[in-house]
Structure formats: C-alpha cells, structure tokens
Homo-oligomer: A and B are copies of this chain.
Amino acid sequence: MDMLSTCGFMSGEIILQPMIAEASLKTRKEQVGFHTKVPRNVNLEKLRNGYLFPEISRHELQHIEKYPNAKLISLGVGDTTKPIPQIIASHMANYAFGLSTDIGYKGYGPEQGNKALRKAIAEVFYKNELVKDTEVFISDGAQCDITRLQLLLGSNVTIAVQDPSFPAYIDSSVIIGQAGHFEDNAKKYQSIEYMNCGPQNNFFPDLSTTSRADVIFFCSPNNPTGHAATRKQLEELVEFARDNGSIIVFDSAYATYIKDDRPRSIFEIPGAREVAIEVSSFSKFAGFTGIRLGWTVVPEELLYSNGFPVIHDFNRIVCTSFNGASSIAQAGGLACLSFEGFAAVQSVLDYYMENAKILVETFASLGLKAYGGRNAPYIWVHFPGSKSWEVFSKILEKAHIITVPGSGFGPGGEEYIRVSAFGHRDAILEASRRLKILFS
C-alpha cells in the first residue's frame, strides 16, 4: 500500500463497495459467462490499485473491534468539522426556498459560473488587479477541475509534481495517459518528474536539477507538508516556467490559511499571467467540502506554443464536460465574499489555526520535528528512520488517533505522518494529551 488514491480519501463515510477483490474476479466471470469485447482502458490498468483510505478504514475498523471502548480521534482526512456561519447558510437556505417561487426559480446558469460570483472572486481574492472576472471559471471544487485541466492538456504533455503531493495530480495524469509505467522500485511513474520537497531544501525543489516538463503542478500552502512557498521561491518557480515555456498549475486551495505576507496567489508574481493557471476552492476556506464550490483562473495571456489562448480551450472543456456548479452552492459562495460573510469565515479559519498551533506546540514539546501548521491546517511530522505506516500504526494502537502515513503522498513522504487541524477543539486537546504520553 504505497500509492494514495483519492478514493475514499475525502469521504467522511468510508465506502468499501463496490471495491471488488481481485481474487473474486475469476469466479465472477465464470458465474456470469458473458463479457464484452471492449478493451479495458490501458491508462486505468496503470493506476496502482491501492486505496489508502479504505486501507486506513480497515485499520480503523479492526481497531474498534479490538478496543470497543476506546475513544478514537481522527486527525486523518482533511475534512472540515465546524458549522458554516449562519449568515452564509441562511443565504443558501433562502436561495433554495426561493426556487419554489416564480420569481426565485432559475434553471441552467452559465457553465462558467454566475457573473456576480466571478466578479466577487476577482475582487476579493485578486483585488481586481491580478485577474479579470472573465478569467475566473467557477467549479464544483479544485479536485474536479484538476481532471478538467488534464482533459484540456491531453496525453501528449509531460508533467512535474512536488513529492510529496496531493495524489489527484498524479492519478489524473495516469488516467489521461501522460504518466507512463509505474516503477515499483522507485515508486514513481516513469514519465512524471518528481520534485522532491523537504526540510533539506525548505520544501522547494532544486530547479537546477529539475527536468523540463510541459506542466508543473505546484500546491502552496502545500498538502501534505503545510509549507507555504515564499515570494522568492515563487519568483524562482515563475522564472523557471518562463525559461522552459512551461505552464504552472498552481493549487491555492489553502491560501486563506496564510497568516504572514507570503503570496496567496501565483498571480502576485510578475510574469505569472503568461505561464500559470490557478485552481482554488471554497472547501477549506469556508467549510464547503460537501457543498462543492471552487474556481480556476486562466489568464488571457497564457498561450500554447502555437499562440492559441489556453482560456479558449478551457472554456470549451468547461462547457462540454461540466454544466456549472450548483446554483445554491454559488449563492453560498457569494455570501462568503460579502463583508460580514468573509469576517465570519475568518473566525472559523482562526479556530482551525489555533488547533494547528496546539498540535505544532505538542510535537515541538516532544522534540519531534514538525513542519507546516503556521500558514496551513496540516502538520507534517518527521520520524527519522521510521516507516510512516509503522508510525501510523503505533499512534493508532497506543493513542487511538488516526493520522495519515506520509508515504501515501508519494515516496518523498516516507518517514512522515500528516496531522490535520480540522477537528473540534476538545478532540485536538485530548489528542495532544495522548501524544504527549506516547512520545514523552
């Protein structure tokens, strides 16, 4: 179990069905006695079968059986737990109820999203300077747009990813056919450039030894390491992309967690509009994980090698493969960006960041190296010389706490675990207490 799939990864409810064990396939085929002549997609054959979270779920279920009275704490899945501020929920409720009235009913909206929301995003997140509203495409979440971006780019491009990284970049790359074969020893796909990011390089790749790729996926603040790239680092990245004629796909899903003056958008870096796309999300910003709302910015200046604007093709993909985010979710998004809504959301972010602070201090007090947690809701804890699955098991067994083994995010995550700050305060304090007992 080395590769982390996104499947089940984001689910509060863990679904083991319809996962069918490979062993049962032959039996099934014999029973059914019929199969089509349609070949299985070779790209899907290349995906590693491992699913991290069903695996974690199995550990969890076994644990509950073994310790039925233990109070299990989850610091695993990065799922929000705090209610949505009432001002935002009321707005969605009013919008939803309005759909039952002649005046409030609306059918299809524009695939690109409601104009008012696109304008609000350009204004609030980009100060109407960095990005135009017509360059903002509303989505049902960053993860969904990552696949739409892969559809846009197609199979004839090469990609680079941070290692460790959020697994959707690699999985979607494999599905579209860019990745080549998985090399079991290296635990890497042949055609993907893995840019190792760890404490030794301040979580920023050594670009002098990085091969050119057409597309560079870059997440800041990073999931899982919690590192928010500095301005200097992002300047280097943009320069690298410009020198190589690459496109950066910048994932800023956690940007609102940045507390200091690090860039919250790649478009704060001069020259980025000609080499970058930005995907972002309301999920972690406003607790919209289940409501599904995000956006992608494609600047007009971003051109393919033949001079054709990328925005033109992305618009076509959005129109063909998507039909707009739910109108109710979009109404909620607009409420988040009102003056009062934004302030209310900020107080939830502060709550999670106080959790993060407690966890960072906990690990520090134990002499463990913990990264992130200052500008991001994830803490990335180093256990030198240990396998991350073994650390995971130890913490589960001894402290009844679920974490995420770092190797699930790629080979660069070995020896680490990821700890999420998206919990209730009581659970965080209790987790801190138990961790102190376990590791002191």
Q: Is A270 an interface residue (CB 8 A)?
A: no
With contacts A11-B110, A82-B105 taken as known, whether A313 is within 8 angstroms of B100 at the C-beta atoms is no
**Inter-chain contact A39/B305, CB cutoff 8 Å:** yes
A278 CA to B440 CA in the complex, in Å? 57
Q: Tell me if A97 and B90 are in contact (CB < 8 A).
A: yes
Considering the complex, give the chain B residue whose CB is closest to the CB of A307. Answer: B29
Taking CB atoms and an 8 Å cut-off, the chain A residues in 165-215 that contact chain B are 168, 171-172, 175-177, 214-215
Q: Any chain B CB within 8 A of the CB of A8?
A: yes
Tell yes or no: A365 within 8 A of B by CB: no
Proximity bits, A303-316, B CB within 8 Å = 1, else 0: 11111110111011
B141 contacts A37, CB within 8 Å?
A: no
Contacts of A1-39 to chain B: CB distance below 8 A:
5-15, 17-20, 25-26, 28-29, 32, 34-39
Bound together, the chains give a CA A154 to CA B47 distance in angstroms of: 14
Contact B25 A291 (CB under 8 A): no
Contact A151 B141 (CB under 8 A): no
The answer to whether the Cβ of A115 comes within 8 Å of any Cβ in the partner chain is yes
- Name which residue of chain B comes closest to A151, CB basis: B175
* Chain A residues within 8 Å of chain B by Cβ, number: 129
A54 CB → nearest B CB, Å: 10
Chain B, Cβ-Cβ closest to A153: B41
Using A107-B79, A140-B323 as known contacts, say yes or no to A34 and B274 having CB atoms under 8 A apart. yes
Q: Does A245 contact B (CB under 8 A)?
A: yes
Please, what's the 1-or-0 string for A239-256, where 1 marks a CB less than 8 Å from any CB in chain B?
Answer: 001101111000000000
* Chain A, 85-99, CB within 8 A of any chain B CB: 85-86, 88-90, 92-99
Can you add 10 more A-B contacts, CB < 8 Å, to A12-B107, A40-B313? A6-B320, A15-B111, A17-B134, A29-B307, A36-B275, A82-B105, A85-B100, A143-B323, A175-B320, A290-B326
Q: In the complex, which residues of chain B have a beta carbon less than 8 angstroms from the beta carbon of A315?
A: 7, 18-19
Closest approach, in angstroms, between the C-beta of A246 and any C-beta of chain B?
7
Q: A25, B309: Cβ atoms under 8 Å?
A: yes
A268 contacts the other chain (Cβ, under 8 Å)?
Answer: no
Among B93, B242, B287, B323, which residue has its beta carbon within 8 angstroms of that of A97?
B93
Whether the Cβ atoms of B100 and A83 lie closer than 8 Å is: yes
By the criterion CB–CB under 8 Å, are B108 and A10 in contact? yes
A85 to B102, CA, bound (A): 11
**B17, B25, B246: which contacts A307 (Cβ < 8 A)?**
B25
Contact of A303 among B5, B29, B47, B292 (CB under 8 A): B29
Q: Is the CB of A324 within 8 A of B175?
A: no
Interface residues of A in 41-61 (CB under 8 A from B): 41-44, 47
The reply to whether A134 and B175 form a contact with Cβ atoms under 8 Å apart is no
* A38 surroundings in chain B (CB, below 8 A): 153, 157, 214-215, 245-247, 304-305
Is the CB–CB distance between B152 and A47 below 8 Å? no
B contact residues around A275 at 8 Å (CB) = 36
